[in-house]
């Protein structure tokens, strides 16, 4: 039942209003036994429109390009061209390579906020993705050209690298802020309809389950793109970095062409003005009033305020309160992403100090998408439905918490691996040091010891990352969905920035402590998750 519009100042600042996205109690019965006018019919996900598969395929190409570039990047920046053991390019060392890579990740996940504004204010989602992809492609082309052997060791190489990463980050922001909301917009059915299956069983088509499966499928395609990008690592080993970077550029161009040719098929809301300027004005009023957002409501804005004649309504403030309440959870995600960012930086550097048995030291990160491709369908199709049918709704928060804890375990395991390296010959706690066998011999530890760390990180991602995307979509008011999604994505950049705080520990023999610190941080964030006061719309 809708709540009447309040007409007094007291009513305006009431905090017990019905949320625009109605909360679902955490003690509801399982979906198979919900009596909602359909008896006790089983709830199932609906079929996806073809545009969902198109968007997922295009995102596959974009992720192939992103990870096809990022995979070889640590070696390209860290190692010199004449490194006797590992492929190299610029030769800046581990700390500088990690700094550049993490700065790039920060940039890639800050730009979605700008991408959301451009889409909502000016271009709409489809055109924003289109133009962002063109910028992205330009960055890839510059990267390929600046890494050609003919220009190596010239003044062009490093500036070309930095310019290319800047442009790729701009393109990534415009794409990432809008692809997920565009995907969700493709499913226009109101849900909760009865359908007769071929088996004769009557089932309820459930919108929440459909959206959950759409995001799981989307995430599956993302990881398939990550996995396919391992071709870049193999090519880096045999043919050099320019060839390795040319492969993701080619795949990205294919995805770009596919998007251009299908751009008229997508369901997408027209740009109706970005809410961000009004959000900033309302938040400024809130800050001046000691943090009470209700003072930004039209009836309570002081007459002397420059925003007394503002373009928003009580409904806008209601939506903003809901979005900010939901976004409190995102304050804990940076600790998770700080640990996760080690996957493509220090994990690769760690592998370079181990016996790799002839395989590239930067190929093991692709254990992550392999695990995800196996585990995500298992969770979506078997484990979670089984748990639901046993009477235990699997909400967002338990999955997020479990993901954080598994990630903490992965960091502790990485610390164990690092400790094992430090107690092994020939160089012990200074592996590949120039003072030990001229840095040409790794310590006597197999790189396969790293594999469980990648599996644990992938398992955490299937829980925390997928549930975070679902949570951002489910708890965001429709008018602020792109903003909420951009805020969620920006936690990756904040987390990567936090990871820079442990850069002083990325020198031997301190690296073990770096992993321990990250494990403690993400464990603490997971433990604190349930103390966050939010209004939750949970999906079973």
Output the pLDDT for position 201.
78
Residue 320 lies in a domain: no
CA distance 15 to 521: 32
Minimal CA–CA distance to 418: which of 486, 350, 363? 350
Whether 116 and 261 map to the same domain: the answer is yes
Whether 85 and 168 map to the same domain: the answer is yes
Whether 405 and 507 map to the same domain: the answer is yes
Output the pLDDT for position 323.
86
Whether 434 and 524 map to the same domain: the answer is yes
CA distance 332 to 533: 13
Q: Tell me what percent of the chain is helix, strand and coil, each rounded to the nearest 5.
A: 70, 5, 30
What average pLDDT does the segment 501-523 reach?
Answer: 94
**Helix, strand, or coil here: 442?**
coil
Whether 72 and 123 map to the same domain: the answer is yes
Each residue's pLDDT tens digit, 83-139: 777 788 888 888 889 899 889 988 987 888 888 888 888 899 999 999 999 999 999
Each residue's pLDDT tens digit, 295-306: 788 877 666 665
Whether 262 and 278 map to the same domain: the answer is no
Each residue's pLDDT tens digit, 329-377: 889 999 999 999 998 789 989 999 999 988 888 888 888 888 888 898 8
Output the pLDDT for position 69.
92
Residue 166 lies in a domain: yes
Residue 103 lies in a domain: yes
For the chain, the domain total comes to: 3
Contact at 8 Å (CB) between 194 and 41? Answer: yes
Each residue's pLDDT tens digit, 211-260: 878 888 888 888 788 877 778 888 888 888 999 999 999 999 999 999 99
In whole angstroms, how far apart are CA 339 and each of 324, 397, 523?
25, 19, 10
CA distance 285 to 281: 6
Whether 151 and 266 map to the same domain: the answer is yes
Lowest mean pLDDT among 454-458, 489-493, 518-522: 489-493
Q: What's the pLDDT band for 476 if we cut at 50, 70, 90?
A: confident
* Mean pLDDT for all residues in the chain: 82
Whether 376 and 391 map to the same domain: the answer is yes
Output the pLDDT for position 520.
97
Residue 16 lies in a domain: no
Q: What's the pLDDT band for 442 if we cut at 50, 70, 90?
A: very high
CATH number at residue 504: 1.20.1250.20
Output the pLDDT for position 65.
94
pTM across the whole model? 0.71
Whether 300 and 422 map to the same domain: the answer is no
Whether 289 and 347 map to the same domain: the answer is no
| Cβ atoms within 10 Å of 284's Cβ, excluding its own | 14
Best mean pLDDT range from 295-304, 413-422, 473-482:
413-422
Backbone angles phi, psi at 196, to 5 degrees: -100, 120
Residue 241 lies in a domain: yes
What is the signed CA dihedral for 296, 299, 305, 310, rounded to 10 degrees?
70
Examine the pLDDT at 153 and tell me if it is beyond 90.
Answer: no
**Helix, strand, or coil here: 429?**
coil
Output the pLDDT for position 18.
26
Output the pLDDT for position 38.
52
Minimal CA–CA distance to 450: which of 379, 540, 515, 526? 515
What range defines the domain where residue 300 resides?
274-312
Residue 12 lies in a domain: no
Lowest mean pLDDT among 155-159, 459-463, 475-479, 513-517: 475-479
| Cβ atoms within 10 Å of 85's Cβ, excluding its own | 15
Q: What's the pLDDT band for 33 if we cut at 50, 70, 90?
A: very low
Percentage of the chain exceeding pLDDT 90: 32
Q: What's the pLDDT band for 534 if we cut at 50, 70, 90?
A: low
Residue that has been written with the tokens 């700080």 in this structure: 338
**HEC string for 256-324:** HHHHHHHHHHCCCCCCCCCCHHHHHHHHHHHHHCCCCHHHHCHHHCCCCCCCCCCCCCHHHHHHHHHHH
**HEC string for 463-522:** HHHHHHHHHHHHHCCHHHHHHHHHHHHHHHHHHHHHHHCCHHHCCCCCHHHHHHHHHHHH
Residue 28 lies in a domain: no
Residue that has been written with the tokens 């509801």 in this structure: 28
Whether 162 and 229 map to the same domain: the answer is yes
Radius of gyration of the chain from Cα atoms? 25
Output the pLDDT for position 539.
46
The alpha carbon dihedral of 494, 495, 499, 501 has a sign of: positive
Q: Kindly report whether the peptide bond that precedes residue 371 is cis, defined as omega within 30 degrees of 0.
A: no
Whether 143 and 84 map to the same domain: the answer is yes
Residue 212 lies in a domain: yes
Examine the pLDDT at 15 and tell me if it is beyond 60.
Answer: no
Minimal CA–CA distance to 124: which of 264, 271, 276? 271
Contact at 8 Å (CB) between 427 and 352? Answer: no
Dmax of the chain from CA atoms? 80
Output the pLDDT for position 21.
27
């Amino acid at each position: 039942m809708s709540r009447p519009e309040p007409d007094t100042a007291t009513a305006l600042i009431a905090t017990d209003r019905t949320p625009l996205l109605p909360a679902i109690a955490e003690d509801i019965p399982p979906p198979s036994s919900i009596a909602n006018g359909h008896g006790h019919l089983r709830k199932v996900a609906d079929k996806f429109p073809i545009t969902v598969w198109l968007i997922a395929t295009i995102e596959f190409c974009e992720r192939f390009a992103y990870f096809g570039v990022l995979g070889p990047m640590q070696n390209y920046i860290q190692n010199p061209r004449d490194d006797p053991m590992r492929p190299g390019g610029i030769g800046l060392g581990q700390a500088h390579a990690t700094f550049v890579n993490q700065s790039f990740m920060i940039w890639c996940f800050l730009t979605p906020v700008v991408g959301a504004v451009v889409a909502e204010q000016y271009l709409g989602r489809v055109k924003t993705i289109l133009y962002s992809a063109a910028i992205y492609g330009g960055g890839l082309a510059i990267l390929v050209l600046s890494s050609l052997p003919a220009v190596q060791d010239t003044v062009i190489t490093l500036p070309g690298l930095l310019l290319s990463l800047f442009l790729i980050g701009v393109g990534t922001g415009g794409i990432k802020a809008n692809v997920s909301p565009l995907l969700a917009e493709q499913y226009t059915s109101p849900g909760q309809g009865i359908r007769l299956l071929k088996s004769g069983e009557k089932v309820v088509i459930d919108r929440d389950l459909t959206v959950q499966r759409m995001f799981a499928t989307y995430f599956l395609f993302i990881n398939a793109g990550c996995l396919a990008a391992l071709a870049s690592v193999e090519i880096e080993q045999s043919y050099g970095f320019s060839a390795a970077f040319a492969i993701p550029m080619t795949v990205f161009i294919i995805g770009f062409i596919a998007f251009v040719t299908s751009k008229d098929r997508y369901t997408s809301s027209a740009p109706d003005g970005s809410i961000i300027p009004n959000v900033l004005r309302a938040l400024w009023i809130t800050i001046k009033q000691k943090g009470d957002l209700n003072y930004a409501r039209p009836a309570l804005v002081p007459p002397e305020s420059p925003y007394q004649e503002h373009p928003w309504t009580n409904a806008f403030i209601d939506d903003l309160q809901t979005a900010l309440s939901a976004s409190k959870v995102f304050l804990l995600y940076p600790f998770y992403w700080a640990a996760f960012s080690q996957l493509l930086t220090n994990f690769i550097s760690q592998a370079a100090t181990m016996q790799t048995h002839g395989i590239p030291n930067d190929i093991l990160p692709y254990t992550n998408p392999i695990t995800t491709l196996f585990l995500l369908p298992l969770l979506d199709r078997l484990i979670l439905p089984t748990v639901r049918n046993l009477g235990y709704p699997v909400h967002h928060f338990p999955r997020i918490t479990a993901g954080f804890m598994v990630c903490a375990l992965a960091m502790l395991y990485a610390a164990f691996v690092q400790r094992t390296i430090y107690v092994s010959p020939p160089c012990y706690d200074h592996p590949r040091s120039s003072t030990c066998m001229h840095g040409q011999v790794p310590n006597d530890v197999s790189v396969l010891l790293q594999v469980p760390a990648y599996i644990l990180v992938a398992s955490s991602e299937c829980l925390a990352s997928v549930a975070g995307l679902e949570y951002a979509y489910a708890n965001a008011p429709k008018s602020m969905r792109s903003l909420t999604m951009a805020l969620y994505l920006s936690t990756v950049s904040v987390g990567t920035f936090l990871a820079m705080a442990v850069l002083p520990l990325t020198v031997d023999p301190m690296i073990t402590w770096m992993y321990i610190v990250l494990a403690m941080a993400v464990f603490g964030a997971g433990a604190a998750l349930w103390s966050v006061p939010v209004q939750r719309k949970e999906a079973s």
